Amino acid sequence: MLSRESTGIPEAEARALVCDLDPEAKFESPEGGLLIAETSADPAAIEARVAFSRRVGVLVPEGRLEDEHVSLLRSGTYRVRVFGEGDGGKDEEAIIDSIAERVEGRVSLEAPDREVSAYVGERGRTYLAITTPCSMRQGWATRRPRSRAFFHPSAIFPKLSRALVNLSGVQPGEAFLDPFCGTGSLLIEASIVGAEPIGIDLARKMVRGARRNSIKYGQPWLGLVRADSRSLPIRQVGAVATDIPYGRASSAGGVKSSEILRSLVEGAPAVLPSGRKLVVMHPKSLEVEAGALRVEQELEIYIHRTLTRTITVMRRDATR
């Protein structure tokens, strides 16, 4: 069950996470806020990482709880939550009551072991899934920019940072590079999902500040380097994701955003193995010339009335 932001990020992030675990996965999206995957991927691995989804779980076929589902729910505590575009004539209390009558288990509204998540579509069809919502509590508020040891107005929020990391396809134990790391927003989230972050920034103040943030969250990053990212001082990483500096608050060293973007795209293939990805968030006004990379998708995110950002996901193919 996807978050309802008016952007393609929720579905793109969910698809990326599933495909990283199961490249043969098949998808359907019968409702605007619902993505169903036929996959061998473990839902627990996805819910531990995903940022722009409300629930991740196992779909109940035909929306009817069978004996196996009832036994699972009775083995601990549970609750029922109803989501959707509209009730389609269905009463929320009626849905909850019918499930409670079938299960007859112990209810916990605050911290249930499991949840029956009901999604009511625009035409009234109800989809049921068994989920574990407590495992999706990511503690976003504890890592928002002003909660960090070092704050800068250019910092991006943890949910968006996590989505960029997830779109990059980096896996636990792999090196992850943010060549314009700023306060370390993406590095923090990459470390939480098990990657080994490397940050580069031109400004000494930013490198020192990012170091302070890594210490606050007890994260042993692989490294922080003060350098010009137009000449990457790194040999090879598993994925690259970044937010291109722009505006007066950024540490771009007087270099135009268009030049920064061009240099990054040209230099990324030298540090990315075949099949791995570069994810760049940049002003919509800037066009990406992929060169040796292949653009997989572009997603837009509205910042304010004068700025819309584009997230471009690129992959280095073996043939390029």
Domain harbouring 111, CATH code? 3.30.2130.30
Question: Kind and range of the H or E element at 267?
Answer: helix 257-267
pLDDT tens track, the chain, 320 positions: 999 887 899 999 999 999 999 999 999 999 989 999 999 999 999 999 999 999 999 999 999 999 999 999 999 999 999 998 654 456 889 999 999 999 999 999 999 999 999 999 888 889 999 999 888 889 999 999 999 999 999 999 999 999 999 999 999 999 999 999 999 999 999 999 999 999 999 999 999 999 999 999 999 999 999 999 988 999 999 999 999 987 654 555 678 899 999 999 999 999 999 999 999 999 998 999 999 999 999 999 987 777 789 999 999 987 65
| Whether 53 and 179 share a structural domain | no
| pLDDT in the model for residue 191 | 98
Where is the domain boundary, 136, 159, 174?
136
- State whether residue 287 is helix, strand or coil: coil
| pLDDT in the model for residue 170 | 98
| Whether 118 and 77 share a structural domain | yes
Where is the domain boundary, 73, 105, 136?
136
Distance between CA atoms of residues 129 and 169, nearest Å: 26
Where is the domain boundary, 97, 121, 136?
136
User: Exposure string (b/e) for 113-143, b if CB count within 10 Å is 16 or more?
Assistant: bbbbbbbbbeeeebbbbbbbbeebebeeeeb
**Cβ(266)–Cβ(228) below 8 Å:** no
| Whether 158 and 285 share a structural domain | yes
| pLDDT in the model for residue 87 | 47
| pLDDT in the model for residue 320 | 53
The total number of structural domains that make up the chain: 2
Residue 189 counted as domain residue: yes
CA contacts within 13 A on the Cβ side of 116: 32
Closest of 263, 298, 293, 256 to residue 278, by C-alpha: 293
Closest of 172, 198, 201 to residue 49, by C-alpha: 172
Residue 211 has phi, psi (to 5 degrees) of: -60, -45
Hey, which bits of the chain come out as E strands?
Answer: 26-31, 34-38, 57-60, 77-84, 106-107, 114-120, 126-131, 175-178, 196-201, 223-226, 239-243, 277-283, 294-304, 307-315
| pLDDT in the model for residue 319 | 60
| Whether 281 and 217 share a structural domain | yes
| Whether 50 and 168 share a structural domain | no
Residue 299 counted as domain residue: yes
Residue 281 counted as domain residue: yes
Residue 52 counted as domain residue: yes
| Whether 227 and 274 share a structural domain | yes
Residue 3 counted as domain residue: no
> Which two three-digit tokens encode residue 181?
């790391």
Residue 128 counted as domain residue: yes
> Which two three-digit tokens encode residue 251?
């540490």
- Domain hosting 289: range is 140-315
| Whether 162 and 261 share a structural domain | yes
**Cα-based angle 197, 203, 207 (whole degrees, multiple of 5):** 35
**Cβ(229)–Cβ(250) below 8 Å:** no
